[in-house]
Every structure is written in structure tokens, then in C-alpha cells.
Amino acid sequence: MTNHWIDIKNADVVVVMGGNAAENHPVGFSWVTEAMQHNNAKLVVVDPRFNRSAAVADYYANLRSGSDIAFFLGLIRYLIDTNQVNYDYVKTFTNASFIVREDYGYEDGLFTGYDPKTGSYDKESWFYELDDQGYAMVDESLEHPRCVWNLLKQHVDRYTIDKVVNITGTPKAQYEQVCQVIGATHANNKVATFLYALGWTQHTKGAQNIRSMAMVQLILGNMGMLGGGVNALRGHSNIQGITDMGLLCQNLPGYLKLPSDKDVDLQAHFEHHAPKPLRPGQTNYWQNYPKFFVSLMKSFWGEAATPENNFGYEWMPKWDMQYDVLRYFEMMKQGKVNGYIVQGFNVLSSLPNKAKINEALAKLKFLVVVDPLAVETATFWRNKKLFNEVDTANIMTEVFRLPTGCFAEEEGTIVNSGRWMQWHWKGANSPKEAKADGEIWAGILAELKRLYAEEGGALPEAVAALDWQYVNPANPTAEEVAKQLNGQDVATGRQLSSFGELKADGSTACGCWIYTGSWTEQGNMMARRDNADPSGKGITPGWSFAWPANRRILYNRASADVNGNPWDKDRTLMEWTDGKWTGIDVPDFNSKLDPQASAKTGFLMQPEGHARLFANRLMAEGPFPEHYEPMESPIGTNPMHPEVITNPAVRIFADDKAQLGDFEDFPYVGTSYHLTEHFNNWTTHSRLNAIAQPQHFIEMDEVLAKQKGIANGDWVKVSSKRNYIVTKALVTKRLQPYVVNGKTLHTIGIPLHANYEGLTREAYEINSLTPYVGDANTQTPEYKAFLVNIEKAEAI
């Protein structure tokens, strides 16, 4: 979230799309109802299903899963057509006025630079025109034919309302109404917030779904505002913190990058990641990258990181391609992986195409499962009739199942969606011999260090150098690690109070630069529990610590105009008065600069200081979003450009491509979601939740049910090209057929709480059905739009 949970109360319009907050984030959703009751806010819900958020909405619009980009590009066109654009904001804070290179272009579904052989783009032309000093050229009048604004106008011009609803299946009146309600927030004193979740990410163009919405927020002037922003309602309790910790294949803590083969040495790594400013007078905050990186190396390698050895840079592993979990299971299936460690992740029940996951795991020499619960992954080798039919005796994988504690049995921090780092305390012991995760790594590492010291081996110096100097190396405490994450002055051990103090010379150590300030000489800032809200706007500066720098609303320079006057007096966040900046939040800009200078750096992590309507070379499939069909399209064509149906930059492996189904055999749109009683299949192990929702089922509309002779509560077989599941049918009015490109379509809604080792009734896992293909940027699998068939079945 650029904003945070309580801030939702400041909105005039709340849009829930690509998520279902009432059901999946119920307590956070109480701030939506607060806004409705006390701020007269309107709730708009756009979803393929009339879900629980829709049930309390003022406006609801139906759309076919996988058509969100068309919905938004049509909305942008509508905003421009009806002059509902906040031009002052757009000119001040976005790259609308930046001039794009002459060789950039778009035609019939493809941007310039596409290579059909590799299925990827040469993105060279997707960039600004630069002057001889290397600065981007701009035309503040927005008249230049190649300025971003005019290119955007041209790009969205094709998305007339009729074309949009033909793709999305939304009734035209519903679509126009939603456009109107959202459009009204272009006014300086009206603000909309968007709340989304996996309903947007789990598509082969998930990142572009989100970009489309972010562009709308910029055009309306809703970024950096109280009650506005781009608000991802994240899933797992600490998925934000673990992303901050960089536990992704190309990341390091604090959004630093794991070096690649191209970074031949430390200098090259810095050159690639500390950008040059693209406009004069930029803060260009990533220019500080070397300070953050060297401080991280000091926290990794301790005393062994010296200027002479480039702070241990050489020991860091370098990637040559993105080894995301989908690619890695493909490699595993091909027999290229020997060992795998799975911590708190029921991978057998969650990655797409379960049969492939089973096959891959069986190729391993060893599997280590570290988990508090008896999850299916650890027993993938066990034959479980119907649900896991495998040949146990022929699975030669050695498996270890190691018990861990849970949240209640440890202390430490988790980070909520609003970036609040909340410290928690231990309230119980873990069962019997269970150990904390860190204690388990410590145990294995101690053995490895001993073996390498005794026997030598490959790169033993890295194993020896890896810093593990905790008071009790066998069980590091949360307190000492939290202090390390905050960062220290190496010589004195003083806790730093701001990332401005970090140095690139090895004199500071810091595990995660964006966390600096969370544990200072004043103590543990994350454990603070003052819930006072002096401004009444939901800014509780004394409760926990919000990264970065205890800032609650990101991009808050954009809450005021170019002269530093708030767009809306009632939403004053930062204000220029009597020659200085004041406000209720921590400035997200250089507050030593005057309003005009600071306005140019409103998005200070960008080398041009402006938010990007045109994404330059950051995205795999284009600098602007474009509508592409899901990999399994229910209409088999793309009404915008029949020659380019699906995302042209998608990566798909040959065996998975062969397992894509078509709409003739699998005519219905399958989409997955959660019930409020269950968190994936984790809660199936909790008795109360198992009692509340003991049985798996799917949802289908009444028209289709009648056609198929399926009654409410009947057993049904749902199949995809990959496999099938047998479950119960819930026939409901919540789903309705819709007409897309002249065809009547039906959605099969598939809740996720299905497994067979929990306390619920044994069920087929739904990842048996889903396609093994991900978003072209993130590789997040397409769980929200795939093709299935359905028929009546025998009871199981």
C-alpha cells in the first residue's frame, strides 16, 4: 500500500477490484464501511462474481476475469474525452510532458522491437528523447506529438466504450456509471482509493493490470493524497516483510539487487543500479545504492568484508537468468535439481499443475520441509487414494520433516500491508522438540562450517566468512537480528537513526536500509504502542514504525500543488507556509527544497523525479498496457487485434504449452478465490475453521446448472486440460452468464481451501487444474482466468 489501512476512511470513492476485501481482509474492510458511514464515501466493486464486497457496494459492475486492462484503457479514454483529467497534477508530477524517442511505436498488438523467435522485446526504443547532456526532453505545453500524453491519447483511442464492453462483458450502463463515479475524483477535493489483491496479480498480464489502475490514479491526481493511492492488500501476514527481506530469486533486502553475470565486478554492479538523473536538479535517491549495498555486505560477511575484497562481492552468487519457482520446478522435472528446502510453503498444494509438481519432487535426491504443520508437501510420496496417487516405493527422494514454532511462540516483527513493522511477543512454547526457523538454519550452517573447515570443498572461504556472530550462534535472538536490520556504526556499535547515515566505505553495517530508524539508540521503535491520532486523519505516528522513515503516506509531496498549497485543505498532508514545509507526516521529498524545486522530485526514487504514465523499459510487454487474452481464452481471439491474442512476452515451457486447453473442449472460465473462513489450506488444520467450512465446493450460475442438469449440492467433476477434481456444486445467483464478443460465457468459481491432510473433509487440491504459466514480468501464475469443463459426477 502507498497508504495504509486506516487512511481508507479519508476516501470519497473506494474501488475494490482485483480483490474481495470484505471477505479476505475483513477487519481492514471495516475502514471502507467507516468511510461510507462517516465520510459519505461511495463503494464501487468490479468483479466477475457478486461477492461479499459487492453485496455492500453502491455500484457494482460485472466483468469477465482477465479483461481488466480493457476496462481501464476505456476508462482513461473516457476521462480524456470528458475532460475529467487533473491536468495541473498530471503536468507537475507525471512524465506526461516527456518526449519519447522517434523510433518507438505500437501497431496491432505489438510495440516496436518484438522478436517472434524469442517471444521477447528489444526495448531500446521505449525511452525518452535525450538532449546532449543526457537529460530527457520535455514539452510542458503537452503539444509535442511524441510527448507521453499524446502517445497515451493515441494508444487508448481504440478503446471506445462499445469495444470495451464487448471484451469485458460488462453491461454498458454499469460500465458508464462506474466511469462516472471514478471520474468525479479528478476534482482537487475528491479522492479515490483502489484496493486490490491477487485478483489482479494472478494473470499473465498481472503487473499491467496494476499499472493501468496506477495510471488512472495519476490522471485523476489521487496519488500521494490522504484517502488515495495504489493499495495492494497483501496476502500472508508478513509477505510485505519477506519481500522487503528480498527472498525472491533476483533480490536482496531493501530492494537491492542480487548481482547478475553482467555485473562483472562491484563497480559494474553500482553502475547498473545507481542511475544517473534524467532531469536537472533531481534527488534521484537510488544514486545512494552503493551506501546501502556495502552496508548490506557488512551485515552478511562481517569483519571478512573489507575494501580490499570489495566487501565480499565476489562471494555473492550471480544469476544468469530468472530462477523463479516456476522455472525451477521445470528444471526439477527435467532432473537438474538435487536438493530442495521448503520452509512454511505447501508447494505441492499451491503451485500450478499439481501432477507436474509431484513429478518434479520425485526427481529430487533430498527434500527438507520446515513447517509447523503436517502439510501435503512433506508427504508427496505417500499414496493417498483419489487425492495423491503416486508410486511410493519408486520415489527415491530422502525427505526430512522438521517442526518449527509459530507466531505465538516467538518474538519479532511482521510488516502489514501499510508497511507497519509491528513487533510481537512470545506467548507460549513451541510443541515438544519444535525449533525456530533461524535455529534450524543455524544448526545446519554450524555443521557446514565445521565440514568445510575440516574437509575444504567448493568456495570454503564464503562459508567460513558468512557472519553468524550472534550471542548464541545456535539460536540468534530476534532482538539482535532486528538491530542488525536497522544498521549500526561498525566501530562503536551505535544504532543508526536514519539511512542518511549509511556509508559506502564499510564503516556502517545494515541488513535492510529501508528499516533504518526501526531500532535506534532510543530502543525498539517497532514495539511502540501509542495509538494517538493527533491529526484525526488516521496518522498514528507513535504506533509501531512504518518504513521508510516512519512515513505513513508515500509520495506525499503530490498532496500539494506546484506552489506547495494542498490540493484540498481538508486533506492537508504537507504544506509550504512561511517559507518552510510543515505537515502531519514525514516528508517523502527533500523538504529543504522550495515548492517548485521539490515538485520536480515528487517521485524521488525515479531518476526523472516524475511518476511514469509511460514505463520506459521496465515492463516485459510494453511501456503502455494493452489488452491481451488469458493464455486460455474463452473466445479464442482478441477483438483488438486477432493476430496477437495473448501476451506476446509470456514465457511458457514446451510441455506446459502442450497442456493448454481450448474453448471448444473447455468452454468455461475457471477462477480461484478464498472464503472468509479459510486462508488457503493452512486453516484446514484449525478445528474452528474446519467446522465453519468443512467441505470444498465450486460455484456456478443457475443457467449453466440447468443446462447441465446439476442441482445445488450435487457432486461434479471439474476438468481442465491438466487434470480434474471432484467436488460439490453450489448453484448461485452470485455468478451470472455474460456475453463477450457475441458469445455467452459462464464462470466456474473455485475456492482454494482444498486438501486432504487437514481437519476438513478430504478434497482434491484445486491446483490440479491450473495452468503452468505466469505473468511476463513476475511469473505469478494465471490462477484467475483459465478454461474448464464441468459435468455431474459420482459421490466420492
Partner 1 sequence: MNRRQFFKLCAGGVATSAIAGLGLMPTLAFAAPREFKLIRAKETRNNCCYCSVGCGLLMYSRGDVSKNVEPSLFHIEGDADHPVSRGALCPKGAGLLDFVNSPNRLQYPEYRAPGAATWQRISWQEAFTRIARLMKDDRDQNMIKTNAAGTPVNRWMTTGMLTASAQSNEAGFLTQKFARGLGLVAVDTQARI
- Touching ligand SF4, residues 716-755 (CB under 6 A): none
- Cell (9 digits) for 435: 525449533
Residue 462 sits in the site that holds partner 1 (CB under 8 A): yes
Query: Between 666 and 685, how does the x/- string for binding to partner 1 read (CB under 8 A)?
Result: ----------xxxx--xx-x
- Touching ligand SF4, residues 274-313 (CB under 6 A): none
Q: Segment contacting ligand SF4 (CB under 6 A): 20-28, 440-448, 531-539, 699-707? A: 20-28
Distance CA 386, CA 360 (A): 20
In Å, how far are 107, 133, 326, 380 from 361, measured between CA atoms? 43, 54, 13, 8
Q: What angle do CA 335, 337, 343 make, to 5 degrees?
A: 135
Q: Which does 744 bind (CB under 5 to 8 A by kind): partner 1, ligand SF4, none?
A: none
We find the least distance from the C-beta atom of residue 543 to partner 1, in angstroms, to be 5
Q: Segment contacting partner 1 (CB under 8 A): 41-49, 62-70, 117-125, 238-246? A: 238-246
Distance CA 660, CA 24 (A): 30
Of 26 and 335, CB closest to ligand SF4: 26
Distance CA 646, CA 406 (A): 42
Of 26 and 534, CB closest to ligand SF4: 26
We find the least distance from the C-beta atom of residue 515 to partner 1, in angstroms, to be 8
Helix (H) or strand (E) run with residue 297 in it: helix 289-301
We find the least distance from the C-beta atom of residue 398 to partner 1, in angstroms, to be 6
Of 260 and 732, CB closest to partner 1: 260
- Touching ligand SF4, residues 626-655 (CB under 6 A): none
According to DSSP, the β-strands at 786-792 and 715-719 are antiparallel
Angle between helix 354-361 and helix 325-333 axes, rounded to 10 deg: 60
The string of DSSP codes covering 572-588 is: -SEEEETTEEEESS--S
169, 183, 224, 253: which one binds partner 1 (CB under 8 A): 253
According to DSSP, the β-strands at 668-673 and 580-583 are unpaired
Q: Segment contacting ligand SF4 (CB under 6 A): 21-29, 267-275, 315-323, 616-624? A: 21-29
We find the least distance from the C-beta atom of residue 27 to ligand SF4, in angstroms, to be 4
Distance CA 367, CA 20 (A): 35
Number of residues engaging partner 1 in binding (CB under 8 A): 166
Residues 584, 537 contacting (CB under 8 angstroms):
yes
In Å, how far are 123, 295, 320, 618 from 262, measured between CA atoms? 17, 22, 8, 17
- Specify the 3-state DSSP secondary structure of 248: coil
HSE (side-chain half, CA atoms, 13 Å) at 555: 30
Q: Which does 162 bind (CB under 5 to 8 A by kind): ligand SF4, partner 1, none?
A: none
We find the least distance from the C-beta atom of residue 28 to ligand SF4, in angstroms, to be 6
- Touching ligand SF4, residues 112-131 (CB under 6 A): none
Place of cell 493417498: 384
Hey, which bits of 677-781 come out as E strands? 697-701, 715-719, 724-732, 738-740, 743-745, 747-751
We find the least distance from the C-beta atom of residue 345 to partner 1, in angstroms, to be 5
- Touching ligand SF4, residues 157-176 (CB under 6 A): none
Of 22 and 90, CB closest to ligand SF4: 22
Q: What count of other Cβ atoms lies within 10 Å of the Cβ of residue 262?
A: 11
Residue 261 sits in the site that holds partner 1 (CB under 8 A): yes
Of 512 and 652, CB closest to partner 1: 512
Residue 471 sits in the site that holds ligand SF4 (CB under 6 A): no
We find the least distance from the C-beta atom of residue 461 to partner 1, in angstroms, to be 10
Q: What angle do CA 68, 74, 78 make, to 5 degrees?
A: 140
According to DSSP, the β-strands at 738-740 and 724-732 are unpaired
Residues 486, 517 contacting (CB under 8 angstroms):
yes
We find the least distance from the C-beta atom of residue 576 to partner 1, in angstroms, to be 29
- Touching partner 1, residues 753-782 (CB under 8 A): 757-759, 778-781
Query: Between 227 and 246, how does the x/- string for binding to ligand SF4 read (CB under 6 A)?
Result: --------------------
Of 306 and 383, CB closest to partner 1: 383
Q: Segment contacting partner 1 (CB under 8 A): 91-99, 101-109, 337-345, 647-655? A: 337-345
Residues 716, 790 contacting (CB under 8 angstroms):
yes
We find the least distance from the C-beta atom of residue 305 to partner 1, in angstroms, to be 12
25, 91, 203, 557: which one binds partner 1 (CB under 8 A): 25
According to DSSP, the β-strands at 420-424 and 545-546 are antiparallel
Of 170 and 377, CB closest to partner 1: 377
Per DSSP, 72 falls in state: H
Q: What angle do CA 233, 424, 508 make, to 5 degrees?
A: 90
- Touching partner 1, residues 600-629 (CB under 8 A): none
- Touching partner 1, residues 216-235 (CB under 8 A): 233-235
- Touching partner 1, residues 171-210 (CB under 8 A): 202
200, 381, 567, 666: which one binds partner 1 (CB under 8 A): 381
Query: Between 25 and 54, how does the x/- string for binding to ligand SF4 read (CB under 6 A)?
Result: xxx---------------------------
Distance CA 558, CA 218 (A): 10
Longest dimension (CA), the chain: 79
Please enumerate in sequence order all residues whose Cβ is within 8 A of that of 93, keeping only pairs 6 or more positions apart, or say none. 218, 223, 224, 557, 558, 599, 602, 603, 610, 611
Q: Which does 58 bind (CB under 5 to 8 A by kind): ligand SF4, partner 1, none?
A: none
- Touching partner 1, residues 387-416 (CB under 8 A): 392-404, 406-416
Q: Segment contacting ligand SF4 (CB under 6 A): 22-30, 330-338, 369-377, 632-640? A: 22-30
- Specify the 3-state DSSP secondary structure of 738: strand
Distance CA 326, CA 342 (A): 14
Of 25 and 537, CB closest to ligand SF4: 25
Residues 4, 415 contacting (CB under 8 angstroms):
no
Of 172 and 365, CB closest to partner 1: 365
Q: What count of other Cβ atoms lies within 10 Å of the Cβ of residue 405?
A: 18
We find the least distance from the C-beta atom of residue 373 to partner 1, in angstroms, to be 5
According to DSSP, the β-strands at 412-415 and 420-424 are antiparallel
Four-CA torsion 750, 752, 755, 758, nearest 10 degrees:
-140
Query: Residue 717's closest CA among 390, 388, 386?
Result: 386
We find the least distance from the C-beta atom of residue 174 to partner 1, in angstroms, to be 29
Angle between helix 289-301 and helix 266-273 axes, rounded to 10 deg: 140
Q: Which does 761 bind (CB under 5 to 8 A by kind): partner 1, ligand SF4, none?
A: none
Number of residues engaging ligand SF4 in binding (CB under 6 A): 3
- Touching partner 1, residues 346-365 (CB under 8 A): 347, 350-351, 365
Q: Which does 630 bind (CB under 5 to 8 A by kind): ligand SF4, partner 1, none?
A: none
We find the least distance from the C-beta atom of residue 487 to partner 1, in angstroms, to be 12
Q: Which residues bind ligand SF4 (CB under 6 A)?
A: 25-27
